[in-house]
Structure 1
Amino acid sequence: MNTLEYLRAVKVRLGIESDYALATRLGITRSAVSKLQLGKGVFGDDVALTVAQILDVHPLVVIAQANAERANTPEVRARWMDVVQGFLTLLPHAKTARRLALPR
């Protein structure tokens, strides 16, 4: 999943519709949410932890995906996605995490 997909999933999980409510729940500003939704940013590790808790996904999967998304080169992105794959292989709830985490 990417940042936008995670934001949408959080809204669905929490049953919220407004970006203001999303921002409040994630502990960021409304303008930060807007920036994320426009693809002009990727959430940091602290927000990734909050997203992971809300979605019941291992936090390191979300953090690694955020790092892959902000990678400057395809090689770095591939390295981070390898980390994601490794976590999903090792996690007891890998089936659920795999469904939520992998790009389609």
Structure 2
Amino acid sequence: MNTLEYLRAVKSRLGIESDYALAMRLGVTRSAISKFQLGKGVFGDDVALTIAQILEINPLVVIAQANAERASTPEMRARWMDVIQGFRALLLHAKSDKGLSPIW
């Protein structure tokens, strides 16, 4: 998922429609939400943690995705994407060992 997809998922999970309500729930300004949606900003780790809590997913995946989106070079983005893939594989393996579904 990317920033926009996370924001949509949070709105859906919380049953809210307005960007203002989303901003209030995430503890950011309406302007910040607009920047996120336009691809001109990526949420920080605190917002990523809040999103992960709302969506009941592992926060490290959300944080890594945000870091990949804000990476300043293609190489750095690729490194973060590798972290995400490795972390997902680890979670999938751990959850399958316990018969649980993955949390991302």
TM-score by length of 2: 0.88
Which stretch of structure 1 is more off in the superposition, 73-82 or 83-92? Answer: 83-92
Residue 57 (structure 2) aligns with: 57
- How far, CA to CA, are the matches of 2:74 and 2:101 in structure 1? 25
Contact kept? 2:4, 2:37, Cα under 8 Å:
yes
Instruction: Quote the sequence identity (%).
Output: 79
What is the RMSD of the two structures over their aligned residues, measured on CA atoms? 1.3
The residue type equivalent to 2:23 in the other structure is: A
Give structure 2 stretches of 5+ with no counterpart: none
Residue 45 of structure 1 pairs with residue 48 of structure 2: no
- How far, CA to CA, are the matches of 2:57 and 2:44 in structure 1? 16
> 2:80 aligns to what SS in structure 1?
helix
Give structure 1 stretches of 5+ with no counterpart: 98-104
CA distance 1:30–1:39, shift in 2 (3 Å): same
Residue 26 (structure 2) aligns with: 26
- How far, CA to CA, are the matches of 2:83 and 2:47 in structure 1? 19
Superposed CA deviations along residues 19-55 of structure 1, whole A, max 9, x for unmatched, are 0100000000111111111111000000000001111
- How far, CA to CA, are the matches of 1:43 and 1:94 in structure 2? 27
> 2:86 aligns to what SS in structure 1?
helix
Greater relative contact order structure (CA < 8 Å, 6+ sep)? 1
TM-score by length of 1: 0.88
- How far, CA to CA, are the matches of 1:3 and 1:79 in structure 2? 18
Contact kept? 1:88, 1:94, Cα under 8 Å:
no
> 1:66 aligns to what SS in structure 2?
helix
